[in-house]
């Protein structure tokens, strides 16, 4: 272990909040039931200096805007039933991730970039499958690498048939790396391209165009340039007409987050994050609601984005992203909560009661995405359930996401708080699955129906430490005498282990059970990229990524290892 204490980050802080009025790379237009997102990258608008974003290539800043647009379309535009993604530039859709940016980025920046782009494209697919906002991609020029991967996240792809425009995944032949945003997985698992054809497609730098792209299922529709816009408009109108998104409803405006950032941590209205640099920990304190939920969904709009479940989802999501990108040495995230168990459970009940309302549905899906982001954040997760905490339902999911959880048996000496309680709710049995398609309880008790039945029988009941431990809902239930030592040792040992080994171990243990497209992207692809991005064949002085565009051929170590 490096004995040098970590310091506050010296690089400019990356933030993830923006607004269409400040976009430099995307144009968002909405006409009735159809929205259009046009990629128009500012070549000089890189998030860091040292590269030009030519040919609609993108970096993290471009994707932050896309992430914001996808969120806003779901909350602020209830009538939108179809979203068209296209390019505002002539004869180029997107050249994908910017190569000079990748070549100059640190390893951590590369991996975090790939992870974030994957999460954003997963959110596009979720909007299609769960929110009634179907994404349609109009490829009006060459789509290479990450550009085609963006198209793959859409439900349908329309390709201009002009004899020259191609789609390609050229990372293997040109860069000695892999497509970083799910391309390999989506080609064979989502679009069901034959494996032999996929092998050819992923090893030819020039890509595939026209009728072959259609025959091989790489796209869904061809259109000549003269009829491309008309073809896409008709299909988008049909998709929008089939959507269950409501017309005539008022959207939920997402105001800028109230957030204070300091070297000591983060502060939001419903969440604080305290950073201890010596211990390499970030302690999240989740604040329960101060009031009861409204009587009906109109009350959500009345409270705006301060509605508690939406507010806590936004704050927790933002905090996880901030720590990922700006605090890489803070390896252990500790979760505490403060509040009333019954009020948290009441908000769960409200959300489930009105699950068919478009806005309640969007809040539930946002909570799902935020919890998934925590699952895959490559940090050790520890939950501390103490007197005064409110780990019920949605908050209990945070404790169930932890690698270890500690719940105090009894009370602390001289405390007048009642003993800690947890309460399972219906939110723990379906609405918030992990990326493996299972709930966190199903993942914890894989194949153990009796254990699941025993917990479900206690839904809505407050459970003390002894019952929680007996049911398997917490890892340990120490008393006041042992609490401090057990918790301290668990945190200290985490800081002593290799972060690389912990990342691999935790990811391997967290996602048992079936594989999904999403779990493959985060497990297989993230692991491969994590390794390949460090190999000399890609990033060494004679590697393909380093020499790209120089005219020199890479010098490969030819051994298979």
**pLDDT by residue (tens digit) across 413-436?**
888 888 999 999 999 999 999 999
Domain with CATH 3.90.226.10 in the chain: 21-241, 262-509
Superfamily of domain 262-509: 2-enoyl-CoA Hydratase; Chain A, domain 1 (3.90.226.10)
Contact 273, 323 (CB under 8 A): yes
Rounded to an integer, what distance in angstroms lies between the CA atom of residue 138 and that of residue 152? 11
Rounded to an integer, what distance in angstroms lies between the CA atom of residue 284 and that of residue 320? 10
pLDDT the model gives residue 3:
44
| pLDDT tens profile 179-233 | 989 999 999 999 999 999 999 999 999 999 999 999 999 999 999 999 999 999 9
Query: E strands, 395-535, where?
Result: 404-407, 422-423
Q: Identify the three-state secondary structure at position 422.
A: strand
Rounded to an integer, what distance in angstroms lies between the CA atom of residue 135 and that of residue 83? 5
Rounded to an integer, what distance in angstroms lies between the CA atom of residue 255 and that of residue 243? 27
Taking 70 as the pLDDT cut, the residues of the chain under it are: 1-5, 10
Contact 176, 556 (CB under 8 A): yes
Q: Does domain 21-241 have CATH number 3.40.50.300?
A: no
Strands 208-209, 166-168: pairing is antiparallel
């Amino acid at each position: 272990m490096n004995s040098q204490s970590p310091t506050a980050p010296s690089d400019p802080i990356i933030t993830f909040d923006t607004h269409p009025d400040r976009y430099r790379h995307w144009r968002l237009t909405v006409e009735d039931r159809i929205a259009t997102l046009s990629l128009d990258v500012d070549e000089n608008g890189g998030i860091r200096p040292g590269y030009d974003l030519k040919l609609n290539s993108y970096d993290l800043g471009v994707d932050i805007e896309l992430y914001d647009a996808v969120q806003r379309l779901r909350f602020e535009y209830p009538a939108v039933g179809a979203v068209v993604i296209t390019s505002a530039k002539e004869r180029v859709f997107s050249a994908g991730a910017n190569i000079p940016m990748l070549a100059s980025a640190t390893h951590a920046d590369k991996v975090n970039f790939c992870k974030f782009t994957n999460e954003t494209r997963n959110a596009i697919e979720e909007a299609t499958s769960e929110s009634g906002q179907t994404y349609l991609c109009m490829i009006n020029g060459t789509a290479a690498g990450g550009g085609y991967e963006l198209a793959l996240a859409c439900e349908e792809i329309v390709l201009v048939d002009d004899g020259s425009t191609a789609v390609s995944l050229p990372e293997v032949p040109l860069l000695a790396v892999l497509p970083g945003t799910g391309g390999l997985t989506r080609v064979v698992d989502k679009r069901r391209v034959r494996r032999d054809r996929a092998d050819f497609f992923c090893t030819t730098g020039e890509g595939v165009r026209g009728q072959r792209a259609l025959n091989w299922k790489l796209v869904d529709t061809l259109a000549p340039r003269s009829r491309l816009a008309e073809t896409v408009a008709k299909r988008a109108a049909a998709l929008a007409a089939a959507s269950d998104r409501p017309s005539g409803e008022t959207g939920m405006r997402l105001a800028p987050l109230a957030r204070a950032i300091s070297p000591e941590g983060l502060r939001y209205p419903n969440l604080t994050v305290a950073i201890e640099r010596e211990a390499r920990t970030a302690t999240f304190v989740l604040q329960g609601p101060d009031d009861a939920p409204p009587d009906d969904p109109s009350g959500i709009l009345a409270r705006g984005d301060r509605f508690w479940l939406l507010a806590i989802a936004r704050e927790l999501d933002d905090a996880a992203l901030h720590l990922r990108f700006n605090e890489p040495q803070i390896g252990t995230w500790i979760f505490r909560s403060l509040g009333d168990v019954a009020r948290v459970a009441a908000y769960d009940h409200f959300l489930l009661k009105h699950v068919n309302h478009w806005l309640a549905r969007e809040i539930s899906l946002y909570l799902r995405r935020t919890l998934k982001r925590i699952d895959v954040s490559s940090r050790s997760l520890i939950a501390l359930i103490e007197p005064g905490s409110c780990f019920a339902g949605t908050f209990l999911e945070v404790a169930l996401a932890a690698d270890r959880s500690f719940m105090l048996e009894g009370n602390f000496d001289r405390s007048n708080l009642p003993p800690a309680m947890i309460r399972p709710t219906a939110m723990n049995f379906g609405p918030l699955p992990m990326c493996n398609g299972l709930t966190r309880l199903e993942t914890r008790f894989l194949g153990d129906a009796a254990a699941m039945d025993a917990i479900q029988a206690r839904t809505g009941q407050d459970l003390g430490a002894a019952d929680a431990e007996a049911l398997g809902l917490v890892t340990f239930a120490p008393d006041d005498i042992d609490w401090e030592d057990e918790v301290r040792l668990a945190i200290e040992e985490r800081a002593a282990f290799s972060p690389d080994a912990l990342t691999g171990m935790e990811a391997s243990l967290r996602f048992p059970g079936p594989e999904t497209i999403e779990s493959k992207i985060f497990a297989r692809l993230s692991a491969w990229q994590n390794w390949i991005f460090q190999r000399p064949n890609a990033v060494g002085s004679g590697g393909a990524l380093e020499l790209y565009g120089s005219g020199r051929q890479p010098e490969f170590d030819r051994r298979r290892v």
